[in-house]
Amino acid sequence: MEADSRLVLPLAAIFTAFFVAPLVVLLLLSLHGDIAMQGWTLHNYVKFFTDPFSYSILIDTLLLGVKATLVCLLFGYPIAWLCARAGARWQSVLVFLVILPILTSVVVRTFSWIVILGRQGLLNQVVMGLGLSNEPLRLLYTEVGVVMVLAQVQMPLMVLPILTVLSKLDPNLADASRVLGAGEWRTFFRVTLPLSLPGIIAGCILTYAASITAFVTQTLIGGARLIYMPLNIYQQAVGANNWPFAAALSIIFMITVMIVVGVLGAIGRRSEIHGRA
Amino acid sequence: MTASRSHRLRLEAITHRFGASTAVRDINLDIAGGELVALLGPSGCGKSTLLRIISGFIRQTEGRVLFDDSVVDALSPAERGVGIVFQNYALFPHMSVGENVAYGLQAHKWPRERIGKRVAEMLDLVHMGEFASRKPRELSGGQQQRVALARCLAIDPKVLLLDEPFGALDKNLRLDMQIEVKRLQRQSGITTILVTHDQEEALSMADRIAVMSRGHIEQVSTPTGIYDTPQTLFVNEFVGTTNVLRGEFIEGPAVRLEHGPILPVGPDKAFQQGRAVVVSIRPEQLRFRPAPSDGAFAAVITTVLPLGAQVVYDVALTGGPSLKIAEPRDAEGGLRPVGATVYLAPASPAACNVFPAS
Ligand SMILES: Nc1ncnc2c1ncn2[C@@H]1O[C@H](COP(=O)(O)OP(=O)(O)OP(=O)(O)O)[C@@H](O)[C@H]1O
Ligand SMILES: [Mg+2]
């Protein structure tokens, strides 16, 4: 026991130095009154919650995460399901395609999305070429565009946990369901889906956390008029040079994210207890 | 109750290939309503494949499956009305025992009130009534198996398929569950196929046994028929233990063994003169003789194994191979000593099975 705890000490020291300490600095910074950084006050927090503009950005950001996560789940679950069902060779091809976004630089892949989504972009050429619309769709610098790109970019974070759970599912369970008279749909909704809930929750937590903090994607695709928390913090700190307010925003953002992730995690743990054989 | 629920099952010339490899080959089996047939064979011989063909999960490459007199090949597993107990039971882990049993009834669109009654009735049948609200993980192996049985019997299947259902149970519990399953099977009169690679299980439970080897059926017979009159050397060696001696077939009928002596065999054995054959004698069909007499082999005892009610001796024939011989242990419990010279002979010529040498 003693030897164990001593082994942990260096790790704990590193953790304190590089993670806890900056947070403490951030917290202290946020309690300074103004740009001059004099005195102690809750002024920055009061300002945030009394300024509709500030907190509407937080709400927008949290909702953006929800939308991106839902779209990601909508496409990610079927992809994971196909991967789990595919033969070994197809499975590796599909998994490679899914993780491809992780393997390219954020900036590069975001710019290629700009090329796709723009007024003269690939997508609009296809849509107009097919005669689905007479005017180019507005996707770049809109939330729809941001959600689309986030969903694509975070796809691996959704697909991989679900795929892991699905491929560990006992195939006899689906067989048992079918032989008891259930069709494909009943088998899916009553057996496969509930048992893959732990993977869905894990995928949602990862996708959600990654989507709301995706500074580059949000900013490049969303443009200057769509402001989310990461950009807001950046503008306060670097643009307005108001470090205490930026620090307060960071703390508030962090805590709300922790609450969301905590709630999802609690649901996940419950479903896991239910699902364990 | 029995007759109405008993359905006949027929397999006609079933062959199945996975790509280039043949998993089962030309299987013919006719199972009467209410009969319990064991599929017995070593790992990989195609037992599970055959079970999956009967249940409709895989469509055989050739041949037909008939329930009563109708071909079911085009029917899905759901439509065939078979019940399966999987080796790992495959209970739905996120549902309670009661919900597991109700699952098939819901899928069959039973009205809600009747489902409740039926679930209670089925759980009582397997003595699991008080566990209805438990989750499968809170049950022991034997209890899980009872639930799996109740779940598949609830929908009143035409045929019950058991894929190595006792493999995961320890020895005592296994015997209890074998008796229990046999009781339920008799009581419901349901036609049943039991897949197993445990010969004792097949011998004790089945009305008939189909011994399989490398994808085809070697012999179908009653347990005693399989044990006493095996038709192939494979069946003889796979079911029970036996001694195998090589030799050549001669007039008599008899077999001249490789190491010299001549062994008379039953008059029903007919082979060409000089044909290379193997003779198989079960250990309990060998007898000790008090003195070197006609047709008795001299041997030296090398190992003594007192196995409860009987004693098995390993003996080395003079100038020949080793044999096993079993003898009931007498009340005094006197054992023959290691190193003693003994004389032994088959109980009768009919006790020797003769097969062509491969
Ligand atoms: N899906 C499949 N694809 C290819 N080959 C298969 C498949 N399923 C089974 N086989 C092959 O068919 C043969 C029979 O397999 P099967 O599972 O029926 O054996 P088994 O008698 O049930 O063995 P065990 O006692 O180990 O369960 C084996 O050689 C196996 O490798
Ligand atoms: Mg098998």
Can you give the pLDDT at residue B4? Answer: 56
Can you give the pLDDT at residue B97? Answer: 96
Q: Which residues of B touch A176 (CB under 8 A)?
A: 84, 86, 90, 92, 151
Distance from CA of B26 to the nearest CA of A (A): 25
Distance from CA of B245 to the nearest CA of A (A): 45
Mean pLDDT for B220-235 is 93
pLDDT in tens, A84-130: 998 889 999 999 998 888 888 888 888 888 888 888 888 888 888 88
Domains and their CATH numbers in chain B: 2-231 (3.40.50.300), 241-356 (2.40.50.140)
Task: For chain B, say whether A273 makes contact (Cβ under 8 Å).
Answer: no
The vertex-B86 CA angle with B74 and A172, nearest 5°, equals: 70
Can you give the pLDDT at residue B110? Answer: 95
Task: For chain B, say whether A168 makes contact (Cβ under 8 Å).
Answer: no
pLDDT in tens, B85-95: 998 899 999 99
Can you give the pLDDT at residue A2? Answer: 58
Of A209 and A118, which is predicted with more confidence? A209
CB-CB contact of A198 with A272 (8 Å):
yes
Helices A243-275/A197-212 angle, 10° precision = 170
Res B281 pLDDT > 90: yes
| Position B277, amino acid | V
Task: For chain A, say whether B165 makes contact (Cβ under 8 Å).
Answer: no
Q: How far is the CA of B43 from the centre of ligand 2 (A)?
A: 7
Mean pLDDT for B5-27 is 94
| Residue among B99, B152, B104 nearest B125 (CA) | B152
Res A277 pLDDT > 50: no
Give the separation between CA A47 and CA A53, rounded to whole angstroms: 10
Residues above pLDDT 90, as percent of chain A: 53
In what helix (H) or strand (E) does residue B307 lie, and over which residues does it extend? Answer: strand B297-307
Cβ-based neighbours of A109, under 8 Å, separated by 6 or more:
A101, A153
| Residue among A168, A164, A169 nearest A202 (CA) | A164
Task: For chain B, say whether A177 makes contact (Cβ under 8 Å).
Answer: yes
Per-residue b or e along B194-209, where b marks 16 or more CB atoms closer than 10 Å to that residue's CB = bbbbbbebbbebbebb
Distance from CA of B82 to the nearest CA of A (A): 7
A226: left (phi over 0), alpha (psi -120 to 50) or beta: beta
Distance from CA of B183 to the nearest CA of A (A): 23
| CATH 3.20.20.70 matches A51-276 | no
**Three-state SS at A35:** coil
Q: Residue A170: which of B88, B107, B152 has the nearest Cβ? A: B88
In what helix (H) or strand (E) does residue A195 lie, and over which residues does it extend? Answer: helix A193-195
Mean pLDDT for B282-303 is 86
Distance from CA of B84 to the nearest CA of A (A): 7
> Given pLDDT bands bounded at 50, 70 and 90, which one contains residue B259?
confident
Q: How far is the CA of B54 from the centre of ligand 1 (A)?
A: 15
- Using the beta-carbon criterion (under 8 Å), do A183 and B86 form an inter-chain contact? no
Residue-range domain boundaries for chain A: 51-276
Give the separation between CA B108 and CA B99, rounded to whole angstroms: 14
Res B224 pLDDT > 80: yes
| Residue among B97, B84, B95, B193 nearest B140 (CA) | B97
Mean pLDDT for B237-251 is 91
CB-CB contact of B13 with B27 (8 Å):
yes
Mean pLDDT for B317-342 is 85
Asked if residue B20 has its Cβ within 6 Å of ligand 1, the reply is no
The length of chain B in residues reads 358
Residue-averaged pLDDT of chain B: 91
| Residue among B59, B56, B100, B49 nearest B78 (CA) | B56
CB-CB contact of B14 with B65 (8 Å):
yes
| Position A43, amino acid | H
Can you give the pLDDT at residue A3? Answer: 61
Residues above pLDDT 90, as percent of chain B: 67
Res B211 pLDDT > 90: yes
Of B358 and B353, which is predicted with more confidence? B353
Q: Which residues of A touch B76 (CB under 8 A)?
A: 178
Q: Residue A181: which of B90, B104, B136 has the nearest Cβ? A: B104
Give the separation between CA B277 and CA A48, rounded to whole angstroms: 97
Of B8 and A17, which is predicted with more confidence? B8
Res B3 pLDDT > 60: no
Can you give the pLDDT at residue A215? Answer: 92
Cβ-based neighbours of B176, under 8 Å, separated by 6 or more:
B142
| Residue among A180, A185, A271 nearest B147 (CA) | A180
Residue A6 CB neighbours (<10 A) = 9
Res A145 pLDDT > 50: yes
User: For an interface test with B, which of A169, A173, A177, A180 has the most B Cβ atoms less than 10 Å from its Cβ?
Assistant: A180
Residues 93-132, chain B, touching A (beta carbon < 8 A): 93-94, 103-104, 107-108
Q: Which ligand is nearest to the CA of B46?
A: 1
Per-residue b or e along A59-91, where b marks 16 or more CB atoms closer than 10 Å to that residue's CB = ebbbebbbbbbebbbeebbebbbebbeeeeeeb
Cβ-based neighbours of A13, under 8 Å, separated by 6 or more:
none
> Given pLDDT bands bounded at 50, 70 and 90, which one contains residue B258?
confident
| Position A128, amino acid | M
CA B193 to chain centre: 10
* pTM of the predicted protein model: 0.83
Can you give the pLDDT at residue A274? Answer: 57
Q: Which residues of B touch A194 (CB under 8 A)?
A: 94
The number of CA neighbours under 13 Å toward the Cβ of A32 is 16
Q: Which residues of A touch B82 (CB under 8 A)?
A: 179
Q: Whose CA is nearest to atom 2 of ligand 1?
A: B18
User: For an interface test with B, which of A179, A196, A276 has the most B Cβ atoms less than 10 Å from its Cβ?
Assistant: A179
What secondary structure does DSSP assign to A124-184, as a single string?
HHHHHHTTS-SS----TTSHHHHHHHHHHHTHHHHHHHHHHHHHHS-HHHHHHHHHTT--H
Give, in order, the Cα–Cα distances in Å from A32 to each of A26, A29, A133: 10, 5, 53
Give the separation between CA B109 and CA A183, rounded to whole angstroms: 12
Asked if residue B23 has its Cβ within 6 Å of ligand 1, the reply is yes
**Three-state SS at B246:** strand
Can you give the pLDDT at residue A181? Answer: 93
Can you give the pLDDT at residue B357? Answer: 86
The vertex-B88 CA angle with B84 and B90, nearest 5°, equals: 60
| Residue among B239, B216, B213, B215 nearest B226 (CA) | B239
- Using the beta-carbon criterion (under 8 Å), do B78 and A191 form an inter-chain contact? no
Residue B104 CB neighbours (<10 A) = 26
Res B37 pLDDT > 90: yes
Res B67 pLDDT > 90: yes
> Given pLDDT bands bounded at 50, 70 and 90, which one contains residue A37?
low
pLDDT in tens, B139-173: 998 899 999 999 999 999 999 999 998 887 888 88
Task: For chain A, say whether B339 makes contact (Cβ under 8 Å).
Answer: no
- Using the beta-carbon criterion (under 8 Å), do B107 and A186 form an inter-chain contact? yes
Least CA distance to A192: which residue of chain B? Answer: B92
Mean pLDDT for B333-350 is 87
Mean pLDDT for B306-312 is 86
Can you give the pLDDT at residue A35? Answer: 59
The vertex-A270 CA angle with A269 and A272, nearest 5°, equals: 65
| Position B63, amino acid | G
Residues 23-42, chain A, touching B (beta carbon < 8 A): none
- Judging by beta carbons within 10 Å of its beta carbon (0-12, 13-18, 19+), is residue B96 exposed, middle or buried? middle
For the ranges A58-62, A98-102, B178-182, the lowest mean pLDDT is seen at A98-102
**Three-state SS at A118:** coil
Mean pLDDT for B263-278 is 87
Q: Residue A179: which of B77, B88, B137 has the nearest Cβ? A: B77
Res B347 pLDDT > 80: yes
Can you give the pLDDT at residue B2? Answer: 43
For the ranges A37-46, A140-149, B212-221, the lowest mean pLDDT is seen at A37-46
Give the separation between CA B256 and CA B350, rounded to whole angstroms: 16
Q: How far is the CA of B213 from the centre of ligand 2 (A)?
A: 13
Can you give the pLDDT at residue A276? Answer: 47
Q: Which atom of ligand 1 is nearest to the CA of B21?
A: 5
Task: Kindly provide the ipTM of the predicted complex, given to two decimals.
Answer: 0.82
Mean pLDDT for B44-68 is 94
Residue B74 CB neighbours (<10 A) = 8
Q: Tokens 């069902």 — which residue? A: A85
Q: Which residues of B touch A185 (CB under 8 A)?
A: none
pLDDT in tens, A222-242: 988 899 999 999 999 998 888
